[in-house]
Chain A
Amino acid sequence: MLRLIVTRLLDAIPTLVMVLILVFVSLRILPGDPAQVALGEQATPDQLNLFREQMGLNAPLWQQFFSFGWNMLSLNFGKSLINGTPVIDLLAQNLPYTIELTLVATLIGLCIGVPMGVFAAVNRNKAPDTGARLYSLIGYAVPDFYLGALLLIVFSLNLGWFPINGGGDGFVDGIYHVLLPAITLAALKSAFLGRLTRTALLEVLGKDYVRTARAKGADENRVIYRHGLRNALLPLTTGLGLSILSTLSGSVPVELVFNRPGIGSLLINSIAQRDYPVIQAGVVMFAFFVVIINLAIDLAYVLVDPRIRVK
């Protein structure tokens, strides 16, 4: 297991280096001058030059790149060009909210999606299956920013059951604030996981060993959950990993509609302001998460499927 972890981490190094190069180059190609954004349209050329000098933006590109690479390795992410706040502080302020939203949304998505998928598979081509497929279709089709606004209007504005916006203060208030945005994201997640569960389970339920179990008179619940669902966990694990990654990077519209702090909206704002240090650190952090979550999925495979462990 340790060897697997070390190997996977070593494999990730070239990926992270590529990300560093890509993010650096793409930002420099992107039109838009951070000095102009920070100082405004009417800034004098002298002030623009002074700002660039102070922020190291006048140095040759190769020098900027090596300085950036070294800083990333030493976890020195620099300061925001717009407000001078250390980037590490900005990430630390926003990351907990993103993790919180991702975890709660994933949990809700799992709790709805997996049972729904099982129910649909067991009742294939019957009304529950049609209903589940319809739910999945709607989950995929309705944009999260629209669903978020709709839920806000109904449950926060009209019924007053949930807060309108913000991240909440403290644990209980935090959970109270995260529920509605998490439900918004969970709609798509549950649609995805439900469909995945249904497909995987249907495939497994058609296998010889399932038929054998039934022929031996095994209880139907045992057939479905012990022989069926357990063996369908492999694709579900992959799907879960992908779903978590998509939430980490794709929760921006929900963060905006619910005015939640988070890494996604921090990055979008920084891109609009050409705040290079924040964008660079944010993207590298996302890449790091991708590596970690992929590693977690690999480890989960080993735990979920004994055959992989034996190999």
Chain B
Amino acid sequence: MSLSRREFMTKAGVAGAAITIASTVGMPEAMAQDHVLSIALAARAPNGLNPAQTGLTGGDNWAISQIYDCLVNSADGTFGIKPEDFKPEIAESYESSPDAKTWTYKIRKGVKFHKGYGEVTADDVVFTFTRLIDPKVVTASKATYANIASVEAVDPMTVKFTLKLPDPLFNGSIASTLPASILSKKAFTEKGDAYKFDPIGTGPYQVTSVDPTSGVLLEANPDYFGGVAVTKHLKIVFIADTTARTLAFLSGQIDMMEGARTPGWIAGIKQRAAKTIFDETQPGSFNHLMLNLTKKPLDDVRVRQAIRYAIDNSAIAKAYGELATPMVGMIAPQFEGSVKPADLPPELQYKPDVAKAKALLAEAGFPNGLTIQCFNSQREDYAAIMLMVQEQLRAAGITLDMKMIDHATFHDQTAKDLNTIVLNSSSYPPVPTFPLVIQLASNAEVKADGSGGTNFSHYGVAMKGVDDLLTKALAEPDFEKRVATVQDIEKQVLKDLPDMGIITLSYVVARNPRVDLGYPVKSGYAYWPLHKAKYV
């Protein structure tokens, strides 16, 4: 082969141009931006739109919540926190047996699946829930649905759930959760693996296209039983980087964006665009500090009390402005079952007191303070909270020798019982027993081989816990009585201090004032309906 230098340079240039052209042709044509309501979420690309699949991102959840309906749901922009707070959706009515172990739902007539897949029947509901409880099928949040003993179609439009334990808040704990969005049995069986990117729901929007680079494009479902969505097109864009997302929002390219849950972020946006509206869900995530009772000196209640007195939750919450609320016990103050400082005896109120913390440490044999080693996630919310906690503890003579590690590694090492003080950030539904079962029950104890649960403090094993009270609460069919028992658990935990609530941290979306959601966002999951949203 003979090639002169000049020929080489020419051919190389042509080849380069050809590759550039080849790399850009064949991409989807841009959709006209007119009347397309857009929201940018913090994820790199859609992972799927099957509500029961694993690995979904927050962005996927936004899309899913527009595409599907559940049997019942909370009112727009709120969390149903009591049994009477839920509105029928696919179900037109429901009833519970007196022991709260049998729940029967009457399916609304004429609810149509998208794209001609027929009307919803009891079969679709049974299909959806059977997958969720089948141990041989990998689905999201399996533990959430473990209380369902069976689900059956009583007739073509009636479904009956039989539970293992009473659940007076079944609508909140199960029937209105996102993975329990009703699937089309016919479409799911027909499409197989393809269903997750070509889903069929009953919701106000149906899928037009799913593209890993341009996002999910939805259009109004003309047959929606709740009325056709006000804005015809909805675009869900995936922008992982906060700076890129913020710039896209400030430039007006997108209408709404998932915000950053860091101190000062809202103020920064307001400086640039003062009229921006911030929609925040209260409470958002629960941020707890779990103390490993098997590690010295955390087995000494005086040391745990010193830590509690040294931490000023209100100061940490204040750093986040309107995004955070200081926690008193395990349950977010916005939810039923939580305790208020005024309801507690003075010794359980733990008003921040550095002098008292030092005195307790001295009493426990640490007059010169102590050092505790732990590790924490680098994720921005984890890092910010723990750095503030570290600083507050330092003032009381407690040095946290803290390593910051990658988030997946943090979870892996924590699940193997290698951590000492664990910051845990979780979003829970408004079900009073939920965080208690997951974080305090002895059968959820963390294990060194990684096969245990998320009771990272070993409460109920390293010391007597609240298993008895928890059993009592879970067996109680009356909601108010259940809540009272949960409050007793809260008080016991405040005495023992294996776990301490720090702050709740809201999920926040910045919204351009040109968009009216049609209702105020007060609480709820980290996604909300957009079918009433319009340009103003």
Contacts and interface: CB of A to CB of B under 8 A. Distances in A.
A18 interface: no
Nearest to A167: B213
A164 B244 contact: yes
A104 B247 CA distance: 24
B20 A93 contact: no
A303 B408 contact: no
Given A272-B407, A273-B408, A100 B244 contact: no
Contacts of A300: 8
Contact of A257 (B28, B47, B244, B411): B244
A181 B348 CA distance: 56
Contacts of B411: 32, 36-37, 41
A170 B251 CA distance: 22
A44 B412 contact: no
A157 B243 CA distance: 12
Interface stretch (A197-205, A221-229, A258-266, A285-293): A258-266
Nearest to A273: B408
B29 A43 contact: no
B112 to A, nearest CB: 28
Contact of B244 (A47, A256, A261): A256
A156 B251 contact: yes
Given A50-B138, A83-B48, A99 B143 contact: no
The listed residue with most B CB atoms (<10 A of its CB), out of A107, A165, A303, is: A165
Contacts of A164: 244, 247-248, 251, 253
A119 to B, nearest CB: 21
A267 B5 CA distance: 37
A100 B250 CA distance: 27
Given A44-B142, A44-B143, A50-B136, A259 B240 contact: yes
The listed residue with most B CB atoms (<10 A of its CB), out of A160, A171, A265, is: A171
A304 B239 CA distance: 43
Contact of B247 (A39, A93, A156): A156
B54 A51 contact: yes
Given A31-B413, A169-B29, A170-B25, A303 B8 contact: yes
Given A99-B19, A259-B248, A265-B240, A37 B408 contact: yes
A174 B214 CA distance: 13
A269 interface: yes
Contacts of A33: 408, 412, 415, 450
A46 interface: yes
Interface in B205-244: 212-214, 239-241, 243-244
Given A31-B409, A96-B22, A47 B138 contact: yes
B213 A100 contact: no
A23 to B, nearest CB: 17
B30 A36 contact: no
Contacts of B135: 46-47, 50
Contacts of A60: none
Contacts of A31: 408-409, 412-413
A103 B20 contact: yes
B239 A259 contact: yes
B454 A169 contact: no
Nearest to A50: B138
B271 interface: no
B359 interface: no
Given A40-B141, A50-B136, A104-B20, A84 B48 contact: yes
Contacts of A304: 5
B409 A168 contact: no
Contacts of B373: none
A93 B248 CA distance: 22
A300 to B, nearest CB: 7
B214 A157 contact: no
A14 interface: no
A238 B144 CA distance: 58
Given A103-B19, A169-B28, A303 B3 contact: yes
Interface string B1-45: 101110010000000100111111101111000000000000011
Contacts of A103: 16, 19-20
A32 B408 contact: yes
Contacts of B193: 84
Contacts of A122: none
A45 interface: yes
A2 interface: yes
A11 interface: no
The listed residue with most B CB atoms (<10 A of its CB), out of A42, A84, A174, is: A42
A39 B408 contact: no
B426 A41 contact: yes
A242 B241 CA distance: 28
A61 interface: no
A54 interface: yes
Interface string B42-81: 0011111000011100000000000000000000000000
Interface in B245-264: 245, 247-248, 250-251, 253
Contacts of A1: 1
B438 interface: yes
B508 to A, nearest CB: 20
A9 B3 CA distance: 21
B451 interface: yes
Given A33-B412, A50-B136, A265-B44, A149 B454 contact: no
Contacts of A276: none
A117 to B, nearest CB: 18
B25 A171 contact: yes
B196 interface: yes
Nearest to A5: B1
A167 B27 contact: yes
B406 interface: yes
Contacts of A54: 138
A156 B252 CA distance: 11
A274 B408 contact: yes
B241 A256 contact: yes
A45 B28 CA distance: 42
A256 B408 contact: no
A32 B27 contact: no
A152 interface: yes
B251 to A, nearest CB: 5
B244 A41 contact: no
Contacts of B454: 41-42
Contacts of B8: 300, 303
B140 interface: yes
A42 B408 CA distance: 14
B243 A47 contact: no
A45 B453 CA distance: 8
A39 B29 contact: no
The listed residue with most B CB atoms (<10 A of its CB), out of A93, A96, A164, A273, is: A164
A175 interface: yes
Contacts of A32: 406, 408-409, 411-412
A97 interface: yes
A80 to B, nearest CB: 8
A82 interface: yes
Contacts of B409: 30-32
A36 B415 contact: yes
25 contacts: A31-B409, A37-B55, A38-B54, A39-B138, A39-B140, A40-B140, A45-B451, A47-B135, A50-B135, A51-B138, A82-B47, A83-B55, A93-B213, A103-B20, A152-B243, A164-B248, A164-B253, A165-B248, A169-B214, A170-B24, A170-B29, A174-B24, A256-B244, A273-B55, A273-B408
Given A37-B55, A164-B244, 7 more contacts: A31-B409, A33-B408, A36-B411, A50-B135, A83-B55, A166-B213, A171-B21
Q: Which 4 A-B pairs have the closest CB atoms?
A: A96-B23, A174-B24, A32-B408, A83-B47
